[in-house]
Structure 1
Amino acid sequence: MTVMLSSAEIHGLATRRAMVRLIPLMCAIYFMSYLDRTNVALAKSALSADLGISAAAYGLGAGIFFLGYALLEVPSNLLAHRIGPRRWIARIAVTWGALSSAMMFVQGEWSFYLLRVLLGIAEAGLFPALMYMVTLWFAPKDRAIAVGWIYIAPALALVIGNPIGGALMKMDGIGGLHGWQWMFLLEGLPSIIVGVILWFKLPERPRDARWLSKAEAESLEAHALLPGHANPHDYSGHWVQALKRPTTILIGLIYFLNQVAFVGLVFFTPSIIQQMQISSPLTVGLLSSSVGIGFLAGVLILPRIHRKIARDCYCLGLFTCGLIASAVAFTLIDNASARIALFTATAFFAGGVLPIYWAIAMKRLQGIEAAAGLAFINTIGLLGGFAGPYLFGLVEKASGLSSSGFYVILAAAVLGLLLVPALAKAINAETNATAMPITE
């Protein structure tokens, strides 16, 4: 006897299948990208000892990756829209994996800067291409959860990657190479392998997935359309308009400030821990994973809270207040164990809120507008990724303490909180102008 499923049941089943099939592949590539961009944090002290790279130079080199990334973000995602995200994401993975391994050849400050810029250029477009795929596959109500699952990848990269990187650093002297050279080499090669796998396994759209029935594929594509946008290509000639929207710009600015705080935290946590009189690379790596644990908890919990509250700006304000509270507590407490716990709390709020930014943006962008607008938001955020480590490096140079970077986190969080009411006003104005049923 054949059981007839309702439209809602077909869509629910198709969404679950897409989550199970797609999210692990998207997580795998984002895991490797985050591992390869942040493993330099573990090499900070070794690069100083072996090559004479100062804290300020390290901060500039760590952040300049994001400058190279930002330069090509929008054109890269427009190419992903034109030729298909599968091919483009696979290309990105292979080229950045090769350049990540090439970091083992750093000889001084200028070669450090050059390879970090090239690494950013190679990786440009990866994350917004993944976000663009989310708009092709998932209904607006499911996107925060989908993005939250994708953000598990960088969180795990911090939880697992730091101890792995610390262990690889202990290979110092083997084969005449420094430990940091082994780390860069052995963590770059798997990215190339993952890129090849994606070429063969990642479908472009629901209609290309052999594991979906025709009805399921059609249901996913229909539900992925935004209300009022009959076709994802309706605005293909007007993608620049997405970059001019006040909501796009404000989300980008808030994301910029978030990245100043969060990326600075990620790149300087190992050095803060080392200044707690901890010298073992493996121990530093293990304790640094506290940031990844907080990040992981945040992306699993905060999007689900947001889904229940359904008030975007209220959630942003609430979670930003949590970040401010954790940063203030860190500056007031000297106990080492408490500070390790506050790394976790800070990352919980700073990292956990990231899927919500993208869910808010995706509610307002479709088709090539999504490809351009999401890349533009990420470009602004990447500039924050450049500024954060650089500011942390300058503050450490002035004070002699890596932990002084928490004042940068505090300042960025307060400024971000001040922008939330402006975003709420822009969302209401846009909603009234278009008469689209979008929740503030």
Structure 2
Amino acid sequence: MELEIEKRTLRRISWRIVPFIMLLYFVAYIDRVNIGFAALTMKEDLGFTASILGFGAGIFFWGYFLFEVPSNIVLHKVGARLWIARVMVTWGIISGAMAFVEGPTSFYVIRFLLGAAEAGFFPGIILYLSYWFPARHRAGVTAFFMAAAPISTAFGSPISAALLEMHGVLGLAGWQWMFILEAIPALILGVVVFFYMTDKPEQAKWLKDDERTWLVKAMNEEAAGKGDGAKHSILSGLANPKVLALAMIYFGTSAGLYTLGIWAPQIIKQLGVSSMTVGFLNAIPPIVSVIAMVMWSRHSDRTGERTWHVILACVAAAVGLVVAAGASSIVGLIAALTLVNVGISCAKPPLWSMPTMFLSGAAAATGIATINSIGNLGGFAGPAMIGWIKDQTGSFAGGLYFVAGLLVVSAVLTLVLARFQEPKVLADKAVSN
């Protein structure tokens, strides 16, 4: 009887929550990386070098870094409904303001403010999922949520390329129209969030009484079972060495992810194709990665294994970057970028299942935000280094090798962390059996 209630409850909350948060992340990711497409024409209009583009694209993550932990603490206190709505409206306004950049200084300032505005969204959703889904189901759910990033690249790339063709309409450049029009969905969805989201299972009137009772009991028992390592204090999230290790692992995966998001269009463009062709070619790798991510995370959930699911994915992404650095044909480059996409996408869901295995409450809020804020600095290091190396050498190859090295470091750190994580994983498997 209880198993039937569990299946029914998980199915209901999955349909209620997962498609909606995927839509939110879809919009967030487009606004975060559409600078990669804007740069196809923006750099000539404003006279930006690769170093300026790489630094400006990456400074977003310093805003993220400084405001992410405070943002997640506030979310834990006031609830996801109010705070995620605030985040989305604020970032929508600032993202649209990118259309009025006039030079490097305004570019840097607005990108930094965009990061500060969006801080708390991603770790806030990860924390939100930990309120609703037991740990043994969380990697699969997280995978569906994170699939929105490659999906947004797949659909957003042709859309962004098409908006660049609006050059001259009402006296605005195509890249200006792209920023303005792609900011509108965030503003609309910010309002929808306030009326649609439910903060905690206890408040879910859309669940049946037996479903709500089962879910509240299951989540309370899970929180109680985390013991001393999950004390509900802010410092326990910030000072936990596992949190810092996971942050460094995430650093490498973030460098890889935003290397793709920001530089892939220009890496493809250098082979002599049109902007519209770039849009369609750039959509191929993320389509493949969505399928791989879901299958990989389900396997991770089914086996209860996280460590090797992260390691193998990071190594695959590193190999893909090395191959991409030497690719001289469209087919070879797209195949290499597909391997990078698959590796990075597959690494993230099992990685994000790790912190909530030993943290809960305020410790989880700060721990998750710490991992994301420090880890996302890889989104600064990777793109900025690629831009600088491109200006120094005239090639993307050196920068791609650098990011591949960061992913190898992530794989090694995951292996080191496994000796501390393994007893807990085994315990979870024993309970599930």
TM bracket, shorter-chain basis: over 0.9
1:118: Cα distance to partner?
Answer: 0.6
Give the aligned partner of residue 156 of structure 1: 151
Kindly indicate whether the alpha-carbon contact (under 8 Å) linking 1:312 and 1:439 is maintained by their aligned counterparts in 2.
no
Q: 1:292 aligns with which of 257, 277, 286?
A: 286
Unaligned 5+ runs, structure 2: none
CA distance in 2, matches of 1:439, 1:426: 16
1:77: Cα distance to partner?
Answer: 0.3
Structure 1 residues 337 and 266 mapped into 2: Cα distance closer, same or farther (>3 Å)?
Answer: same
- 1:49-85: CA deviations, max 9, x gaps? 1011111000000000011011011110000010001
1:305: Cα distance to partner?
Answer: 2.3
Kindly indicate whether the alpha-carbon contact (under 8 Å) linking 1:66 and 1:382 is maintained by their aligned counterparts in 2.
yes
* Residues 39-438 of structure 1 aligned to structure 2 (within 5 Å): 39-225=34-220, 227=222, 229=224, 238-278=233-273, 280-428=274-422, 431=424, 437-438=427-428
CA distance in 2, matches of 1:423, 1:55: 36
- 1:289-325: CA deviations, max 9, x gaps? 1342243233222202212332221222222222233
Kindly indicate whether the alpha-carbon contact (under 8 Å) linking 1:294 and 1:343 is maintained by their aligned counterparts in 2.
no
Kindly indicate whether the alpha-carbon contact (under 8 Å) linking 2:229 and 2:358 is maintained by their aligned counterparts in 1.
no
Kindly indicate whether the alpha-carbon contact (under 8 Å) linking 1:172 and 1:179 is maintained by their aligned counterparts in 2.
yes
Q: Give the aligned residue type for 2:94.
A: L
Q: Secondary structure at the match of 1:107?
A: coil
Structure 1 residues 113 and 321 mapped into 2: Cα distance closer, same or farther (>3 Å)?
Answer: same
1:403: Cα distance to partner?
Answer: 4.5
1:230: Cα distance to partner?
Answer: 5.8
Q: Secondary structure at the match of 2:376?
A: helix
Q: Secondary structure at the match of 1:353?
A: helix
Q: Secondary structure at the match of 2:144?
A: helix
Structure 1 residues 405 and 26 mapped into 2: Cα distance closer, same or farther (>3 Å)?
Answer: same
Q: Give the aligned residue type for 1:437.
A: A
Structure 1 residues 234 and 202 mapped into 2: Cα distance closer, same or farther (>3 Å)?
Answer: farther
Q: Give the aligned residue type for 1:43.
A: A
Q: Secondary structure at the match of 1:217?
A: helix
**Identity score, percent:** 33
Moved over 6 A (4+): 231-236
Unaligned 5+ runs, structure 1: 1-5
CA distance in 2, matches of 1:138, 1:227: 10
- 1:87-117: CA deviations, max 9, x gaps? 0000100010011111110001000001001
CA distance in 1, matches of 2:266, 2:321: 17
Structure 1 residues 85 and 336 mapped into 2: Cα distance closer, same or farther (>3 Å)?
Answer: same
Query: Structure 2-normalised TM-score?
Result: 0.94
Kindly indicate whether the alpha-carbon contact (under 8 Å) linking 1:319 and 1:349 is maintained by their aligned counterparts in 2.
yes
Over the aligned positions, Cα root-mean-square deviation in angstroms equals 2.1
